[in-house]
Amino acid sequence: MSSPAKVQKKVLRAARSTTRRTGYSSSTKRALLDNATQLFAAHGYAGTSLDEVVAAARVTKGALYHHFPSKLALFESVFDRLQESATRAIEKRIDTVDDPWERAQIGLEGFLEVCREPQFRRICLQEGPVALGHERWVVAERAASFGIVKRTVDALLDDLGGAGELSEAYAAIFFGAIRSSSEYVADAEDADQAAAEVQASISGILAGMRLLPSLADPPT
């Protein structure tokens, strides 16, 4: 029978080995995602091969397939990571202020900055609909950003006295406008000019909305 000290040593060795394997697996996955992001942004989905990804990440093809069963799965993970990062960055910015109208403006500015960021623009806005398919892309975009749009719009409506059953409609309309705006910026030859036009347009809508009487009683 092993002594308690020997058993403890075995447990510690096993724990350290597990920790090393977990750390290696995590770093491998991160390297794959980082390098895939750069390659997808530079060459697009169709123009990037898994051989290029594993060579850039300095891992084996088997290591890649351990984490991602296909190129599409790898692309989707890159896409989701960029979307989540963008949402966190925008939320961090708007959480610095309390006024709902100022929060909406800051959120819009942050979103338009993200749309002009080369990796996000190429992967999430230009390549996403092609690689994922339009329907799947729309679902993924909604999952990533509808929540923040809904919270922002609800805060505006609350400041106007609330809109009751119309809150879902307002959120859907603003989300549609934001999504269309992202496509407008992504497809523009001059992304900065397109973003300025979107900023002016939506700011005008917000300014007009702020002048509305109380929305507590929706029209019948």
Residue 174 in this model has a pLDDT that exceeds 90: yes
Q: What is the pLDDT of residues 134-155, one digit of tens each?
A: 999 999 999 989 999 999 999 9
Residue 12 in this model has a pLDDT that exceeds 50: no
Arithmetic mean of pLDDT, 186-190: 94
Q: How far apart are CA 7 and CA 15, in angstroms?
A: 12
In terms of Cα–Cα distance, which of 7, 18, 71, 15 is closest to 45?
71
Classify burial at 119, counting beta carbons within 10 Å of its beta carbon; exposed 0-12, middle 13-18, buried 19 or more. middle
With cut-offs at 50, 70 and 90, classify the pLDDT of residue 216. Answer: low
Helix (H, G, I), strand (E, B) or coil at 184: helix
Q: What is the pLDDT of residues 24-62, one digit of tens each?
A: 468 999 999 999 999 999 999 999 999 999 999 999 999
Residue 218 in this model has a pLDDT that exceeds 90: no
Residue 11 in this model has a pLDDT that exceeds 50: no
Residue 219 in this model has a pLDDT that exceeds 80: no
In one-letter notation, the amino acid at residue 75 is: F
pLDDT for the residue 4:
62
pLDDT for the residue 214:
65
pLDDT for the residue 42:
97
pLDDT for the residue 161:
85
In the chain, % of residues over pLDDT 70: 85
With cut-offs at 50, 70 and 90, classify the pLDDT of residue 213. Answer: confident
Q: 6 versus 107: which is more confidently predicted? A: 107
Residue 22 in this model has a pLDDT that exceeds 70: no
CB 118 within 8 A of CB 62: no
Q: How far apart are CA 29 and CA 27, in angstroms?
A: 5
Average pLDDT of the chain?
88
Helix (H, G, I), strand (E, B) or coil at 69: coil
Q: 43 versus 165: which is more confidently predicted? A: 43
